[in-house]
Copies of this chain bind each other. A is one copy, B any other.
Amino acid sequence: MAQWMWKFGEFEIYHNLLVHNRRQQYGWPEPPVWKLYAPESVVRFRKTVTTEGGTFRISACGNTATTVGNVFPDIRKYGGKKEITLEPGTTEITITVSNPDTFPCLYIEGVIESGEGWMADDCSGEFTPVAAGAWADSAQKTPEVFPFAYEKLAYTQKRPVKGGWLFDFGKETFAKTRITGLPDGADVQVNFGESEEEALDDTWSVIHFSVPGGVAPTEKTPDDPCRRDDVSRLWQREEDGAVAVSPVAFRYIWVGPAALALPTASAKPEGSGQMPAPAATMQTPPHITAEYEYLPLTRRGSFTCTEEIVQRVWDVAAYTFHLNCREFFLDGIKRDRWVWSADAYQSLFVNRYLFFDPEIEKRTLIALGGKQPFVMHINTIADYSFFWIISLYEYYRTYGDTAFLAQIWPQLRAVMDFCIARTDDDGFLRGRDGDWIFIDWAPMDKTGAVCGEQILYAKAMECYAKIAELTGHSGDGLGAVAMELQDKIFVKFYDKEKGVFIDSFESGKRNVTRQSNILAYLFLPCGPTLRRQLYERVILNDGVAQITTPYFKFYENQVHCMEGNGTLLETSIREYYGSMLATGATSLYEEYDPTLSGTKHYAMYGNPYEKSLCHAWSASPVYLLGAYRLGVKNTGIAYQSFEVSPNPGDLAEFSGVVPLPDGEVRVSVTPEEIRAVSTVPGGVFCYGEIRQAMEPGKEIAVARR
């Protein structure tokens, strides 16, 4: 079956470019803040084929030139011809595709077909296996258009507010919309909102625009002399007077009379909802049609619980996560709508217990890795370069896919070379000009070498060395360097007196944070005794400042679960997430403070509605319930061995499915018993003292204690 094909990585580089140019902020597209990479514009596709003769047909994104044969004088040049007949025998086909506008891709059907087996280069002579899209299986399904699925959506309520009309779609969604029935000639304002209040705020709704009554918006005005096909265009007026809006995140849409006063993003509001008095009221409601735009993914994992709030949190987490699974793992669908390496790292864990989709993981890792020359950390953050490398190994551990590692190896090497070049003589990596040493939004002693940064660097080198070995490359001894660095971390950052890790050894302050010790717990080779010690002295110690970001809560919860802390997960679900849902959340917020009330829940970064109300990193209950209640964990490569250790925790009754590469594990827990079955071999059932190999299809049932 023929498939569209492209040079490995180019599909992701192209769509990453588009994705990063679609963020909207207060009436304008918000440009990216890190380096983006462009696709190659000329790609040669090559294959040696043996046929009995016959015709093939070329479709391409770009101009083509086809050459058949590679030995003079038997080379035949067909120029841009799209239908070519081969004589019987073996010959080499080279098709050059040039496309400076999007990216070169090629579809061939007939006596030969495009897809696996072809090689491609960027005219550098370095031919590597092409990538192809299983979904791109007809000439019409061009990879220039990302293969989203669409479903019609209807609003659940429409009511007049503030001189205009408020549409409620019932829950957070991501959809393209079309607004019709607008008053002729009048200026109209359209605000999107994750909350009702946001939709009613002409100035501070993150996604909004004004439709001037008189000007056809796609016409170029003197303000905009440039001739471009704007990928960041939010809306355009259609021929019948409708306004078509590109897909964005929202639950509410308000359409009303426009004040047409463009805001200054830096001018802080004195209160939300501030706006000049509307010019007029809108008597007749406009109509809105919407189409949910989503990535068609199959939910392979499930979780069912008799406790309603747990069930609801899992359901909303799964929905939140799905909304953020698009071209790539996004951080949030309203804001930033970008791809962040550490957010993506956490999404790997959730994906494993919900979709088990390797494709989005590969796409995300390619997009994050970028191209060469690699001259700035991923997302400008040193830790995020390390998380990218660690994620590559996590990807391999989950799917056992060495072919992907081989393809991404040159970029992995470029990223590692960049990190090594920024390493000091003592082996520690300190921030250089322009580097962001992030770790977490929290007070931390970042003097000189920062503990968490070194821990992640060592782990990244360890992963790099393993990937090098798997792909037959030299690891440049980085496996040993990683071990040396880990030793140095123990020597320099482990405070013997306190028995925990300190942030910095250079300041003399001996500052202790949860962040440094959580990273040590998760990424340093600590034995169980030391782990327990860190857990007790730091994580369970209320004297150490609490984690405030859901980002780091993810890692803290991992530690809690790994330490078998039996009720904290449920407490978090019932209290933190439960009260979040009680505010009316239909997706999980970027951050949540139960002590706040009203619209204060929506404020962040100093602006009233800048918080993302649908954020991937808050979907961790899907992962934690799967890994630590259903208890299914990969213990080998691609689940060739895995553990099934159901843990009732504080829950009365639940059941669920955890996906494996070629099968699944089903677990059910009742007040009386625990049952588990796997469809594939490799599992070990663990419960209390019981350790028992699982036979495929054969259910194990034990009494609950």
The interface-forming segment of A31-39, A188-196, A579-587 is A31-39
Q: Quick one: closest B residue to A31, CB to CB?
A: B98
Q: What CA separation (Å) do A592 and B536 show in the bound complex?
A: 89
* Contact residue among B77, B140, B228 (Cβ-Cβ distance under 8 Å from A101): B228
* Min CB gap A582→B, angstroms: 34
The answer to whether the Cβ of A80 comes within 8 Å of any Cβ in the partner chain is: yes
The answer to whether the Cβ of A425 comes within 8 Å of any Cβ in the partner chain is: no
In the complex, chain A residues 26-56 whose Cβ is within 8 Å of any chain B Cβ: 26-36, 38-42
Please determine whether B266 and A78 come into contact, CB atoms closer than 8 angstroms. yes
Interface size class of A (residues with CB under 8 A): 35 or more
Please determine whether A225 and B65 come into contact, CB atoms closer than 8 angstroms. no
Please determine whether A61 and B228 come into contact, CB atoms closer than 8 angstroms. yes
Please determine whether B231 and A31 come into contact, CB atoms closer than 8 angstroms. no
Q: Quick one: closest B residue to A75, CB to CB?
A: B266
The answer to whether the Cβ of A265 comes within 8 Å of any Cβ in the partner chain is: yes
* Contact residue among B27, B61, B80, B101 (Cβ-Cβ distance under 8 Å from A80): B27
Please determine whether B125 and A29 come into contact, CB atoms closer than 8 angstroms. no
User: Chain A, 134-150, contact with B by CB distance < 8 Å: what is the 0/1 string?
Assistant: 00000111101100000
Q: What CA separation (Å) do A31 and B96 show in the bound complex?
A: 7
Given A63-B232, A102-B226, A228-B101, is A80 in contact with B126 using a C-beta cutoff of 8 Å? no
Residues of B within 8 A of A125 (CB): 375-376, 433-434
Q: Quick one: closest B residue to A17, CB to CB?
A: B100
Given A265-B78, A266-B77, is A98 in contact with B21 using a C-beta cutoff of 8 Å? yes
Given A79-B25, A376-B125, is A227 in contact with B145 using a C-beta cutoff of 8 Å? yes
Q: Quick one: closest B residue to A38, CB to CB?
A: B38
* Min CB gap A155→B, angstroms: 29
Q: Quick one: closest B residue to A83, CB to CB?
A: B262
* Min CB gap A142→B, angstroms: 5
The answer to whether the Cβ of A60 comes within 8 Å of any Cβ in the partner chain is: yes
Please determine whether B42 and A41 come into contact, CB atoms closer than 8 angstroms. no
* Min CB gap A415→B, angstroms: 14
The answer to whether the Cβ of A230 comes within 8 Å of any Cβ in the partner chain is: yes
Please determine whether B123 and A59 come into contact, CB atoms closer than 8 angstroms. no
Q: Which of A80, A123, A226 has most B Cβ within 10 Å?
A: A226
* Min CB gap A25→B, angstroms: 6
The answer to whether the Cβ of A62 comes within 8 Å of any Cβ in the partner chain is: yes
Please determine whether A79 and B265 come into contact, CB atoms closer than 8 angstroms. yes
- A-B pairs with beta carbons under 8 Å apart, 8 shown: A20-B98, A28-B63, A28-B81, A98-B232, A102-B227, A123-B376, A125-B375, A125-B434
Please determine whether B63 and A31 come into contact, CB atoms closer than 8 angstroms. yes
Q: Quick one: closest B residue to A35, CB to CB?
A: B123
The answer to whether the Cβ of A97 comes within 8 Å of any Cβ in the partner chain is: yes
* Min CB gap A391→B, angstroms: 22
* Min CB gap A21→B, angstroms: 5
Q: What CA separation (Å) do A380 and B224 show in the bound complex?
A: 39
Number of copies: 2
Please determine whether A28 and B80 come into contact, CB atoms closer than 8 angstroms. yes
* Contact residue among B31, B60, B142, B222 (Cβ-Cβ distance under 8 Å from A97): B31
Q: Quick one: closest B residue to A373, CB to CB?
A: B372
Q: What CA separation (Å) do A502 and B227 show in the bound complex?
A: 55
Q: Which of A26, A39, A264 has most B Cβ within 10 Å?
A: A264
Q: What CA separation (Å) do A37 and B222 show in the bound complex?
A: 31
Please determine whether B266 and A82 come into contact, CB atoms closer than 8 angstroms. no
In the complex, chain A residues 634-662 whose Cβ is within 8 Å of any chain B Cβ: none
* Contact residue among B34, B79, B222, B229 (Cβ-Cβ distance under 8 Å from A27): B79
Residues of B within 8 A of A265 (CB): 77-79, 81
Q: What CA separation (Å) do A126 and B434 show in the bound complex?
A: 9
Residues of B within 8 A of A225 (CB): 59, 139-142
* Contact residue among B26, B76, B82 (Cβ-Cβ distance under 8 Å from A79): B26
User: Chain A, 67-107, contact with B by CB distance < 8 Å: what is the 0/1 string?
Assistant: 00000000011111110000000000000111111100000
**Top 6 closest pairs, chain A to chain B, by CB:** A28-B80, A125-B434, A31-B98, A38-B38, A79-B265, A61-B226
Please determine whether B123 and A30 come into contact, CB atoms closer than 8 angstroms. no
The answer to whether the Cβ of A218 comes within 8 Å of any Cβ in the partner chain is: no
Q: What CA separation (Å) do A373 and B229 show in the bound complex?
A: 28
Please determine whether B96 and A33 come into contact, CB atoms closer than 8 angstroms. yes
* Contact residue among B26, B42, B81, B223 (Cβ-Cβ distance under 8 Å from A35): B42
Residues of B within 8 A of A123 (CB): 32-36, 376, 380
Q: Which of A20, A33, A41, A61 has most B Cβ within 10 Å?
A: A41
Residues of B within 8 A of A30 (CB): 63, 65, 79-80
Residues of B within 8 A of A433 (CB): 125
Q: Quick one: closest B residue to A104, CB to CB?
A: B31
Residues of B within 8 A of A222 (CB): 139-140
Please determine whether B18 and A226 come into contact, CB atoms closer than 8 angstroms. no
Residues of B within 8 A of A80 (CB): 27-30
Given A17-B100, A125-B434, is A36 in contact with B28 using a C-beta cutoff of 8 Å? no
Residues of B within 8 A of A42 (CB): 31-32, 34-36
Given known contacts A21-B98, A79-B266, what 19 new A-B pairs fall within 8 Å (CB)?
A26-B79, A27-B80, A28-B63, A29-B80, A30-B63, A30-B79, A31-B64, A32-B123, A59-B224, A76-B266, A77-B265, A81-B262, A98-B232, A100-B231, A123-B380, A125-B375, A144-B228, A145-B227, A372-B372
* Min CB gap A208→B, angstroms: 12
User: Chain A, 230-257, contact with B by CB distance < 8 Å: what is the 0/1 string?
Assistant: 1110000000000000000000000000
The answer to whether the Cβ of A122 comes within 8 Å of any Cβ in the partner chain is: yes
